Copies of this chain bind each other. A is one copy, B any other.
Amino acid sequence: MKRSTTTTTTLLAIATSYLFLLITPTPKSTYHSLFISNSLSDNTSISNHLKTLTRRPHVAGSEANAEAASYVASVFTSSNIPSHIASYEVALTYPLSRSLVLTNPPPQPPTTFTLHQQTYEGDPYADVADEVVPTFHAYAKSGTVAAPVCYVNYGRVEDYLTLKEKNGVNVSGTVVLARHGKIYRGDIVKNAYEAGAVGVVIYSDRKDYGGGGEAKSKWFPDDKWLPPSGVQVGTVYGGLGDPTTPGWASSGGECEKLNKDEVEKGGEVPLIPSLPVSAADGEKILRSLGGPIALDDWQGSKDAPIYRIGPGPGILNLSYYGQDVIATIQNVIGVIEGAEEPDRFVILGNHRDAWTFGAVDPNSGTAALLEVAQRLGKLQKRGWRPRRTIILCNWDAEEYGLIGSTEWVEENREILASRTVAYLNADSVVGGPRFNVRATPQLDELIKRATQEVKDPDNSSKSIYESWTSSDISPLIGRLGGGGSDYASFLQHVGIPAADIAFGGGYQVYHSLYDDFVWMEKFGDPMFQRHVAAASVWGLVALWLADEELLPFDYLSYAKELQLSVENLKDEISNKDINLSPILKSIKELEKAAIKTNKQRKEIEASDGWITRKKDHLKVRELNDRLMMAERAFTDRDGLVGMSWYKHLIYGPSKHNDYGSQSFPGIDDAVKMAKNLHTAESWHRVQHEVWRVSRVIKHASLVLAGQLT
């Protein structure tokens, strides 16, 4: 019986392998080369997309942003990519009234700030400038406060410590003045509240946004720097997604919603009012302050006045009232169904809503997304179909708190968890010349490979990889611990491998009136070649993930990266009685599993023959499922302590800085607390967090190895 089977199989093999040649399709790699070739890329088209998308300010919930959604959908359609709108009814806020008055000691007159960003001469967008939402903080507490001002540098926890310990200043009862820069503005307000402040004003210091002392009179439109009246608008919400539906989707029709009281009890919206102001206004307030002179590194640029801390003597009267609305937001979702594995998803995402015109943030990314869509459309015309499903997402209301992507992920959480290979984000994809990437480490090698294939848009004699690796960026690839963009819910809530790519550097008009098409054409990307290159890298990584039979994930990089993180942790807790061997042991197991998996991959590749394909198909799938699901295993159902929405124990935000990008956020927070409290119990909690991390790494290694105990 056995012999007869073998014989027929052999006969079959000979007979059909000849026939098979006749129907061999174009190799996927041919399409991939085509994708990044000049023949498919189109910088003029990208420029046109950007111009169209940014012709009006388009904050989330506005008619202009709905128009932009239609535009995105129309480009998908014309690229033969079926799309639909996933809309949600969410709680947004707009400013209703704002005022800021500094009452100086007599005889000085009070100063009333206009809170207005000035258009410039020849500004082509001057006629729609009044459509820009007035400068404010989304989800700021409504109210009026009047109190002396205290300067708190960047408003970090350590800044308050400095104030207390070095200057003997207590900010309780004051309005604090902080400068933008080091931490998330929402955390500036939160830290201020926790320190006892009654209101917060945040300004953009010339040192950070104005090009330094040398650039004192050079700013947009003459240079790339933020003009003196420029204001960084933004959200101060600490959570993700619609604040009234924490953890679940704001689906249309019937849906559970928290009321305002419940939202405030949730602790993620500020409980004191705040306003953002310009460099000019910030400096004015600073000049009014008395009290001790601030430390050197708290000072401004060389030509700035001496900064004093206050508090007072003047009284700052801050009034902000917001309007709460329920707005319809629209994610545009384009789907290219996979030919062989339609139930495996490679997702590309970028948001569309902008505080003002959004030329860099976010529509450079939207333009690149549309470029990717068009190139994929062209590939489809030439016969390409992806092995796995590619999903192109254009998110709404990111600026308010990653709302569009979060609601969608929350709504589709279970199906995304079981099907998604990777999520590739691009937010402000072009703001300068420097290539910049953050990713979960199993994607590192793949991203490096892609940058080797694509030319540096600013130096065509080199690949992006060559320019990138010869720069001083360190580490070369960043990680995604912070909550800065739409990858957050994919990675930090569900455990999906993720990356975020950008060309950046020198983009200081962030979230201001001046983030417009003129700025992009003059400073960001005059030839739109950076956009072309971004679309190439972004799309190529996606194509490989969608088309390669075996998923190109390398978990050895993950093990190495975790090892590095442990080294950093060791420094943090040196001479404390914390046992790190559980983590080290689990990393070893992950490494072993990675080696085993890489070996199996090679075996499958070597044995590949179409006649045995029937069986191999499920073998391939088995290996791929392990590669895909291993990242999920880094999540823990209980999540981070006190921030339980965040399930990933390797990458997540730390408590006092949502932008922080530490590994092991749970350990990190516990260490910070222990160093504060100096109790045995608090160090015991650090050890507990070490155990928790070691356990998720062990889970990941079991999933990767495909091994039951």
In the complex the two chains form, what is the Cα distance from A657 to B589 in whole Å? 41
A12 in contact with B19 given A613-B614, A688-B256, A708-B333 (CB within 8 Å): yes
Asked if A585 contacts B699 (CB within 8 A), the reply is no
Let me know if A638 is at the binding interface, CB within 8 A: yes
In the complex the two chains form, what is the Cα distance from A308 to B679 in whole Å? 54
In the complex the two chains form, what is the Cα distance from A482 to B408 in whole Å? 34
Please encode chain A, from 416 to 432, with 1 for each CB lying within 8 Å of some chain B CB and 0 for all others.
10100000000000000
In the complex the two chains form, what is the Cα distance from A256 to B416 in whole Å? 32
Asked if A4 contacts B16 (CB within 8 A), the reply is no
A333 proximity list for chain B (CB < 8 A): 708
Let me know if A639 is at the binding interface, CB within 8 A: yes
Please encode chain A, from 340 to 356, with 1 for each CB lying within 8 Å of some chain B CB and 0 for all others.
11110000000000000
Let me know if A5 is at the binding interface, CB within 8 A: yes
In the complex the two chains form, what is the Cα distance from A270 to B412 in whole Å? 41
In the complex the two chains form, what is the Cα distance from A284 to B687 in whole Å? 52
In the complex the two chains form, what is the Cα distance from A617 to B707 in whole Å? 24
Please encode chain A, from 20 to 49, with 1 for each CB lying within 8 Å of some chain B CB and 0 for all others.
001100000000000000000000000000
A254 proximity list for chain B (CB < 8 A): 581-582, 585
Contacting B at CB under 8 A, from A206-230, are none
A647 proximity list for chain B (CB < 8 A): 637
Q: Which of B12, B408, B639, B703 is within 8 Å of A414, CB to CB?
A: B703
A582 proximity list for chain B (CB < 8 A): 254, 256
Let me know if A11 is at the binding interface, CB within 8 A: yes
Binds B, one of A100-108, A119-127, A169-177, A625-633: A625-633
Q: In the complex, what's the smallest C-beta–C-beta distance from A235 to chain B, in angstroms?
A: 25
Give the residue name and chain of the B residue nearest to A412 (CB).
B708
A341 in contact with B618 given A412-B708, A415-B708 (CB within 8 Å): yes
Q: In the complex, what's the smallest C-beta–C-beta distance from A670 to chain B, in angstroms?
A: 14
Give the residue name and chain of the B residue nearest to A339 (CB).
B615
In the complex the two chains form, what is the Cα distance from A256 to B622 in whole Å? 32
Q: In the complex, what's the smallest C-beta–C-beta distance from A506 to chain B, in angstroms?
A: 38
A12 proximity list for chain B (CB < 8 A): 16, 19
A19 proximity list for chain B (CB < 8 A): 8, 11-12
Asked if A707 contacts B256 (CB within 8 A), the reply is no
Let me know if A413 is at the binding interface, CB within 8 A: yes
In the complex the two chains form, what is the Cα distance from A571 to B632 in whole Å? 41
A656 proximity list for chain B (CB < 8 A): none
Q: In the complex, what's the smallest C-beta–C-beta distance from A519 to chain B, in angstroms?
A: 36
A618 proximity list for chain B (CB < 8 A): 340-341, 617, 621
A413 proximity list for chain B (CB < 8 A): 699
Let me know if A709 is at the binding interface, CB within 8 A: yes
Band of interface residues on A: 35 or more
Give the residue name and chain of the B residue nearest to A634 (CB).
B414
Contacting B at CB under 8 A, from A667-709, are 687-688, 691, 695, 699-700, 702-703, 706-709
Question: Which of A251, A391, A414, A629 has the most chain B CB within a 10 Å cutoff?
Answer: A414
Give the residue name and chain of the B residue nearest to A247 (CB).
B638
A606 proximity list for chain B (CB < 8 A): none
In the complex the two chains form, what is the Cα distance from A647 to B638 in whole Å? 11
Give the residue name and chain of the B residue nearest to A23 (CB).
B5
In the complex the two chains form, what is the Cα distance from A256 to B579 in whole Å? 11
Asked if A707 contacts B415 (CB within 8 A), the reply is yes
In the complex the two chains form, what is the Cα distance from A13 to B632 in whole Å? 42
Asked if B414 contacts A633 (CB within 8 A), the reply is yes
Q: In the complex, what's the smallest C-beta–C-beta distance from A259 to chain B, in angstroms?
A: 10
In the complex the two chains form, what is the Cα distance from A324 to B254 in whole Å? 53
Let me know if A264 is at the binding interface, CB within 8 A: no
Let me know if A644 is at the binding interface, CB within 8 A: yes
A702 in contact with B414 given A341-B618, A621-B618, A639-B637 (CB within 8 Å): yes
A23 proximity list for chain B (CB < 8 A): 4-5, 8
Asked if B633 contacts A709 (CB within 8 A), the reply is no
Q: In the complex, what's the smallest C-beta–C-beta distance from A583 to chain B, in angstroms?
A: 11
Give the residue name and chain of the B residue nearest to A413 (CB).
B699
A613 proximity list for chain B (CB < 8 A): 614
In the complex the two chains form, what is the Cα distance from A644 to B636 in whole Å? 13
A256 in contact with B691 given A618-B621, A709-B86 (CB within 8 Å): yes
Let me know if A248 is at the binding interface, CB within 8 A: yes
A4 proximity list for chain B (CB < 8 A): 22-23
Give the residue name and chain of the B residue nearest to A8 (CB).
B19
In the complex the two chains form, what is the Cα distance from A333 to B703 in whole Å? 18
In the complex the two chains form, what is the Cα distance from A692 to B637 in whole Å? 16
Please encode chain A, from 155 to 187, with 1 for each CB lying within 8 Å of some chain B CB and 0 for all others.
000000000000000000000000000000000
Asked if B16 contacts A699 (CB within 8 A), the reply is no
Q: In the complex, what's the smallest C-beta–C-beta distance from A125 to chain B, in angstroms?
A: 35
Let me know if A268 is at the binding interface, CB within 8 A: no
A633 proximity list for chain B (CB < 8 A): 414
Give the residue name and chain of the B residue nearest to A408 (CB).
B709
A418 proximity list for chain B (CB < 8 A): 418, 625, 629, 632, 703
Asked if A709 contacts B256 (CB within 8 A), the reply is no
A707 proximity list for chain B (CB < 8 A): 415
Let me know if A411 is at the binding interface, CB within 8 A: yes
Asked if B343 contacts A622 (CB within 8 A), the reply is yes
Asked if A415 contacts B703 (CB within 8 A), the reply is yes
In the complex the two chains form, what is the Cα distance from A618 to B414 in whole Å? 20
A581 proximity list for chain B (CB < 8 A): 254
Please encode chain A, from 241 to 267, with 1 for each CB lying within 8 Å of some chain B CB and 0 for all others.
000000110010010100000000000
Q: In the complex, what's the smallest C-beta–C-beta distance from A97 to chain B, in angstroms?
A: 33
In the complex the two chains form, what is the Cα distance from A529 to B655 in whole Å? 63
Q: In the complex, what's the smallest C-beta–C-beta distance from A550 to chain B, in angstroms?
A: 15
Question: Which of A617, A618, A633 has the most chain B CB within a 10 Å cutoff?
Answer: A618
In the complex the two chains form, what is the Cα distance from A401 to B237 in whole Å? 44
A699 in contact with B614 given A15-B15, A709-B408 (CB within 8 Å): no
Q: In the complex, what's the smallest C-beta–C-beta distance from A84 to chain B, in angstroms?
A: 9
Give the residue name and chain of the B residue nearest to A338 (CB).
B618
Asked if A414 contacts B708 (CB within 8 A), the reply is no
A702 proximity list for chain B (CB < 8 A): 411-412, 414-415
9 contacts between A and B (CB under 8 A): A4-B23, A8-B19, A15-B15, A16-B16, A254-B585, A256-B691, A412-B708, A415-B706, A637-B647
Smallest CB-CB A-B distances: 5 pairs: A256-B691, A414-B633, A414-B699, A343-B622, A637-B637
Knowing that A4-B22, A12-B19 touch, tell me 8 more A-B residue pairs with CB under 8 angstroms.
A8-B23, A15-B15, A248-B691, A251-B709, A340-B618, A414-B700, A617-B618, A637-B638
